[in-house]
């Protein structure tokens, strides 16, 4: 049994079954054995590959969105360019190269803030951004955002934040907890704690017995902080992740290792744990804060910003093999059967800054 699994079993023996969020927090962020403290998740040799690691075009196109937003903010003398959970720093590297090339004003005004809990990943990010040393700061605590307009990006960040799960039994939503059996194997059990349904959308009442519901107070907390900042200081944020925009329910907690799905209990701390993001509830709280929101698919977002044209320019005069690689990257990022439809982009903006037209043009992108 790995060290973290032993620790989790001991904790259950001492305190009783764990909430799913407690299990996820230990598996991902335990000081000694948490996944983000020790593993090297990204890339072909890692456990999974994220959009910025697939192709430089991803960060470049987001760079174009940043410049457009900077203009909508009426070119402030300085603004915060923040990334939540920046992984290896690849997205920010591609983005800064692009804005430096295309808009000296925007580059000049940007104060970059990287919010990262993992020291190991922050060290990699520092390497990736070494040529922008004077521009970039690292924070573990998102609460300390400076009082300035905000342009924020977060790719595959929300899916990594812990969730709690509830299961419908006799009309009530009981909390799902994690416990051990006689052989010290981890598994689900049903707790006595019942969810107060007053705040839940009515539609949940009609779901069949045995349905699973996932809630993530931590996700809401992060997004609420962004919303408050946008309403006070103006700006826009993009949250890119997999998830649905319809009525979200079902057990989406998943473990991935070396590009394969695993049993979530098999190897805590060694496998990555994530779950799908419920975009509709994020839009509901945005509205409550008076912030404009829109969700479109990653495919619609990237093609709308010029993915195909960028790919054409990038491939011009290159060898057949390089052109073929670029073509495959475009497919991976934007084709419906790849990341194009499962991944969504949530945009948030205060009214004065306004939402990018791609997000208001069309509702057909939603699932």
Residue bearing tokens 């009309």: 171
3-class DSSP state for residue 96?
A: helix
- Binding range to ligand SAH, per CB under 6 A, among 1-9, 79-87, 200-208, 351-359: 79-87
Strands (E), 67-140: 79-84, 110-115, 136-139
Q: Name which of 238 and 355 has its Cβ closer to ligand SAH.
A: 238
Q: Report strand pairing: 150-155 vs 79-84.
A: parallel
Q: List 58's β-bridge partners, or say none.
A: none
Cβ of residue 63: shortest distance to ligand SAH, in angstroms?
15
Q: Name which of 42 and 188 has its Cβ closer to ligand SAH.
A: 42
- The answer to whether residue 50 forms part of the interface with ligand SAH (CB under 6 A) is yes
Selected from 65, 79, 157, 365, the binder of ligand SAH by CB under 6 A is 157
- Binding range to ligand SAH, per CB under 6 A, among 7-15, 50-58, 183-191, 249-257: 50-58
Residue number of the CB closest to ligand SAH reads 85
Tokens, residue 106: 């925007």
Q: How far apart (Å, rounded) are the C-alpha atoms in residues 322 and 133? A: 32
Selected from 118, 216, 297, 298, the binder of ligand SAH by CB under 6 A is 118
Cβ of residue 36: shortest distance to ligand SAH, in angstroms?
4
- Binding range to ligand SAH, per CB under 6 A, among 84-92, 200-208, 332-340, 345-353: 84-92
Q: How far apart (Å, rounded) are the C-alpha atoms in residues 158 and 238? A: 11
Interface mask toward ligand SAH for 2-21; x: CB under 6 A: --------------------
Instruction: Please answer whether residues 161 and 18 qualify as being in contact, where contact means their C-beta atoms are separated by less than 8 angstroms.
Output: no
- The answer to whether residue 116 forms part of the interface with ligand SAH (CB under 6 A) is yes
Cβ of residue 66: shortest distance to ligand SAH, in angstroms?
15
Q: How far apart (Å, rounded) are the C-alpha atoms in residues 189 and 184? A: 14
Q: How far apart (Å, rounded) are the C-alpha atoms in residues 305 and 294? A: 16
- The answer to whether residue 115 forms part of the interface with ligand SAH (CB under 6 A) is yes
Selected from 61, 81, 99, 160, the binder of ligand SAH by CB under 6 A is 160
Q: Name which of 157 and 173 has its Cβ closer to ligand SAH.
A: 157
Interface mask toward ligand SAH for 30-49; x: CB under 6 A: ------x-----x-------
The site that binds ligand SAH (CB under 6 A) totals a number of residues, namely: 18
3-class DSSP state for residue 252?
A: coil
Cβ of residue 41: shortest distance to ligand SAH, in angstroms?
6
Burial of 314 (0-12, 13-18, 19+ CB in 10 A): middle
Instruction: Please answer whether residues 53 and 88 qualify as being in contact, where contact means their C-beta atoms are separated by less than 8 angstroms.
Output: yes
Q: Name which of 42 and 249 has its Cβ closer to ligand SAH.
A: 42
Instruction: Please answer whether residues 86 and 121 qualify as being in contact, where contact means their C-beta atoms are separated by less than 8 angstroms.
Output: yes
Instruction: Please answer whether residues 14 and 256 qualify as being in contact, where contact means their C-beta atoms are separated by less than 8 angstroms.
Output: no
- The answer to whether residue 214 forms part of the interface with ligand SAH (CB under 6 A) is no
Q: Name which of 221 and 324 has its Cβ closer to ligand SAH.
A: 221
Helices (H), strands (E): how many in the chain? 14, 16
- φ, ψ at 295 (rounded to 5°): -125, 130
Interface mask toward ligand SAH for 169-198; x: CB under 6 A: ------------------------------
Please report, to the nearest 10 degrees, the dihedral formed by the alpha carbons of residues 284, 288, 289, 291 taken in order: 50
Q: Name which of 87 and 294 has its Cβ closer to ligand SAH.
A: 87
Tokens, residue 225: 């902080």
Quickly count: other Cβ atoms within 10 Å of residue 8's Cβ: 26
Interface residue list for ligand SAH (CB under 6 A)? 36, 42, 50, 52-53, 85-87, 91, 115-118, 121, 155-157, 160
């Amino acid at each position: 049994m790995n060290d973290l699994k032993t620790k989790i079993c001991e904790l259950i023996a001492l305190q009783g079954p764990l909430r799913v969020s407690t299990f996820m927090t230990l598996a991902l962020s335990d000081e000694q054995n948490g996944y983000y403290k020790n593993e090297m998740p990204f890339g072909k040799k890692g456990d999974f590959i994220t959009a910025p690691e697939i192709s430089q075009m991803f960060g470049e196109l987001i760079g174009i969105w940043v410049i457009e937003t900077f203009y909508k903010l009426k070119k402030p003398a300085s603004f915060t360019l923040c990334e939540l959970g920046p992984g290896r720093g690849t997205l920010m590297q591609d983005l800064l190269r692009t804005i430096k090339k295309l808009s000296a004003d925007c580059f000049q005004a940007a104060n970059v803030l990287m919010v990262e809990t993992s020291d190991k990943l922050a060290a990699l990010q520092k390497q990736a951004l070494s040529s922008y040393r004077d521009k970039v700061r690292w924070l573990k605590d998102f609460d300390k955002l400076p009082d300035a307009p905000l342009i924020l990006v977060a790719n595959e960040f929300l899916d990594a934040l812990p969730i709690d799960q509830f299961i419908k039994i006799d009309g009530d939503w009981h909390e799902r907890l994690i416990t051990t059996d006689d052989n010290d194997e981890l598994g689900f059990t049903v707790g006595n704690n019942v969810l107060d349904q007053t705040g839940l959308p009515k539609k949940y009442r009609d779901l069949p017995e045995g349905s699973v519901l996932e809630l993530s107070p931590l996700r809401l907390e992060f997004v609420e902080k962004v919303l408050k900042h946008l309403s006070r200081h103006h700006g826009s944020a993009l949250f890119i992740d997999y998830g649905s925009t319809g009525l979200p329910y079902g057990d989406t907690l998943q473990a991935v290792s070396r590009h394969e799905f695993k049993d979530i209990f098999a190897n805590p701390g060694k496998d990555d744990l994530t779950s799908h993001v419920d975009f509709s509830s994020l839009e509901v709280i945005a509205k409550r804060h008076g912030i404009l929101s829109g969700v479109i698919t990653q495919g619609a977002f990237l093609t709308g910003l010029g993915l195909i044209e960028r790919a054409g320019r990038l491939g011009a005069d290159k060898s057949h093999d390089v052109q073929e690689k670029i073509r495959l990257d475009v497919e991976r990022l934007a084709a419906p059967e790849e990341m194009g439809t499962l991944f969504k982009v949530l945009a948030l903006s205060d009214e004065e800054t306004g939402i990018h037209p791609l997000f208001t043009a069309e509702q057909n992108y939603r699932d």
